[in-house]
Structure 1
Amino acid sequence: MKSAKAIIVALIIAAIGLGILALAGWGDTRSGGLPVMLAAGLIAFGLNWLVFIPSAIAKTEKFYDLTGSLTYMSVMAFAVLQSAPVDWRALLVAGCVVIWSMRLGIFLFARISEDKADQRFNEIKQNPARFFVTWTLQGLWVSLTAACALMVITTQTPQPVDLFLIIGLAMWVAGFAIEVIADNQKRAFKRDPANDGQFIQTGLWAWSRHPNYFGEILLWIGIAVTALPVLAGPQWVVLISPVFVILLLTRVSGIPLLEKAADVRWGDNAAYQAYKARTPVLLMKPPSRAS
């Protein structure tokens, strides 16, 4: 019975993601009679469901993050090819998403290859139905997060290079740089044996307790800004993209889980409590000279 409920939940999740993309792409039937955005969503879910099968058999999550990265790249490539010829706005936005997803996929795959298994999946991967929901959620993550980028690529009313594109790309570059620098700083910190059992509070991590997530949120808001000039009517629904990213990272799977784990590990550590008191959880603030 529980398995049946999990499958129903997965189907509802897929229906929500595909419904939003279908609404945004209404009237665009350039891909086999389907809106390109809807077809892209079907690819996003289909790829994850396909890789789920061998992953469930082997009870492994090793290819989860890599599949997410490949899904972003596949969806972008499909949208560009189906919408060709595309303008500079579309090419730049697609390039930004591909660069981000490629970097993140390589980083996460390398991390899980070096470290122990992802603790999030310890119980879930033992239950095929629950594991299927997790892969379906990744399809939703790609579909909704990339919605603004897909709108820019598939729009039938392209706009010339403007201030929205310049500001949006500047935000993306800044966010991408922050995310990459923060991830690399933490990776270098954890690789140093002298830091075993310690928490990072240097570099960008002195500005925010989660600077990598701040960077990720900023870059997706930048993508949304680039999409503003091409939106009309029901297409405005794609602005769910940055909202979804913010809620996901601040309320669901990002910051809450990491903060809880850190409190369990260092909750009675006076230095950690001082770090929490002076450092914002997400927004970046220059550390005081005293700290």
Structure 2
Amino acid sequence: MTKSAALVRVTLAYLVAFAVAAAWLAWGPETRWLWLDTLIADVLATGVIFAFSRAHSNSSFYDAYWSVVPPAIVVFWWASSDTSADDVRAWLVTGVVFLWAIRLTGNWAYGWPGMHHEDWRYPMLRDKAGRYELVVDFAAIHLFPTLQVFLGTVPVYVVLTRSGHDVGWLDVVATVVGLGAVAIELVADVQLHRFVRQRQPGQVMDRGLWSWSRHPNYFGEIGFWVSLALFGVAASPSDAWWLFAGSVAMLAMFLGASIPMMEERSLERRPNYQDVVDRVSKLVPRPPRKRVA
């Protein structure tokens, strides 16, 4: 199957998932809370993507869900809100979300080679699960990321459904952090794609942003979710104690799972990567250490 045909199938899967979610929101029983209605629709859509993943034996059907769904959720919340949210703050946070989504989805579409490719972590998780691989495929690869992204997006719900404080300096900080995070991810993507095209056997990436951080893309991703939390605090300072839950969960996932798995694989496949580990910061960018003679 060509890459174009594969992308068509993935697009079809997402259209069906969105249709199921929309049908639930239009005709399903309502709860007392808009956020809960949205979460149920989000989980149902995840179930559709899971069904396509199983039908095609490729859980990478889910990969784009991470970035495709938040803009749809944000638009739905804003359109459904009965509260007069601050238009300037709402436009700012929505703009940051859409820029982030366009960049991340575009990077996935550019880098995904087609239906023959599946993220290497997925079969590893399924193989370790043994007879419970179906449960792990749904819960760990599909449902858990959906819940995590939803939690990270909840600060936007606060922005769009409450009459918050006037736009102020914290909104400026949130916008700068969000745009800066997207810019870091974009630059890191471009540099990595260029390196992959030109690299020699055994060569490791340690140039550009990647010479200051071993995972600048993850650093930018965390920064994006922090920016959403900052927008939420700007709208409702009294809720600051819980609005960072999503960004903290993202940080825990990257530090506790994603980065260790990537590091272990890189060390197994490229022994020279140990030199990068010794010199370059794991996550937060800083000047690299000098090589030891």
TM-score category, normalised to shorter length: 0.7 to 0.9
How much does 1:212 deviate? Answer: 1.0
Matched-pair contact (CA < 8 Å) for 1:59–1:125: no
Matches within 5 A, 1:38-57: 38-57=36-55
Report the CA distance shift for 1:226/1:235 in structure 2 as closer, same or farther (over 3 A).
Answer: closer
How much does 1:227 deviate? Answer: 1.5
Is residue 137 of structure 1 aligned with residue 144 of structure 2? yes
Deviations 1:64-111 (A, max 9, x none): 112232221221111111116542212211221122123212212332
Matched-pair contact (CA < 8 Å) for 1:168–1:225: yes
Amino acid at match of 1:198: Q
Candidates 143, 168, 177, aligned match of 2:183: 177
Give the distance between the partners of 1:124 and 1:273, measured in 2 at CA.
25
Q: Which moved more, 1:229-238 or 1:272-281?
A: 229-238
Is residue 210 of structure 1 aligned with residue 215 of structure 2? yes
Aligned partner of residue 284 in structure 2, secondary structure? coil
Question: TM-score, length-normalised on structure 2?
Answer: 0.78
The equivalent of 1:6 in structure 2 is none
The equivalent of 2:243 in structure 1 is 238
Is residue 165 of structure 1 aligned with residue 171 of structure 2? yes
Candidates 194, 199, 204, aligned match of 1:199: 204
Matched-pair contact (CA < 8 Å) for 2:209–2:216: yes
Deviations 1:130-182 (A, max 9, x none): 22112111211221121212221222x22221011001111111111111111
Is residue 265 of structure 1 aligned with residue 269 of structure 2? yes
Percent of aligned positions that are identical? 26
Aligned partner of residue 42 in structure 2, secondary structure? helix
Question: TM-score, length-normalised on structure 1?
Answer: 0.79
The equivalent of 1:99 in structure 2 is 99
Give the distance between the partners of 1:227 and 1:149, measured in 2 at CA.
6
Give the distance between the partners of 1:124 and 1:56, measured in 2 at CA.
15
Matched-pair contact (CA < 8 Å) for 1:56–1:125: no
Amino acid at match of 1:38: L
The equivalent of 1:281 in structure 2 is 282
How much does 1:203 deviate? Answer: 0.3
Deviations 1:3-44 (A, max 9, x none): xxxxxxxxxxxxxxxxxxxxxxxxxxxx94532222222222
Matched-pair contact (CA < 8 Å) for 2:164–2:236: no
The equivalent of 1:37 in structure 2 is 35
Matched-pair contact (CA < 8 Å) for 2:46–2:142: yes
- The runs of 5 or more residues in structure 1 that have no matched partner are 1-30
Q: Which moved more, 1:112-121 or 1:98-107?
A: 112-121
The equivalent of 1:153 in structure 2 is 160
Aligned partner of residue 209 in structure 1, secondary structure? coil
- The runs of 5 or more residues in structure 2 that have no matched partner are 1-28, 128-132
Matched-pair contact (CA < 8 Å) for 1:47–1:71: no
Report the CA distance shift for 1:238/1:41 in structure 2 as closer, same or farther (over 3 A).
Answer: farther
**Alpha carbon RMSD of aligned pairs, Å?**
2.5
Give the distance between the partners of 1:74 and 1:238, measured in 2 at CA.
20
The equivalent of 1:222 in structure 2 is 227
Give the distance between the partners of 1:116 and 1:49, measured in 2 at CA.
21
Give the distance between the partners of 2:245 and 2:270, measured in 1 at CA.
35
The equivalent of 1:64 in structure 2 is 62
Matched-pair contact (CA < 8 Å) for 2:280–2:289: no
Report the CA distance shift for 1:211/1:232 in structure 2 as closer, same or farther (over 3 A).
Answer: closer
Aligned partner of residue 62 in structure 1, secondary structure? helix
Q: Number of matched residues?
A: 255
Give the distance between the partners of 1:279 and 1:289, measured in 2 at CA.
9
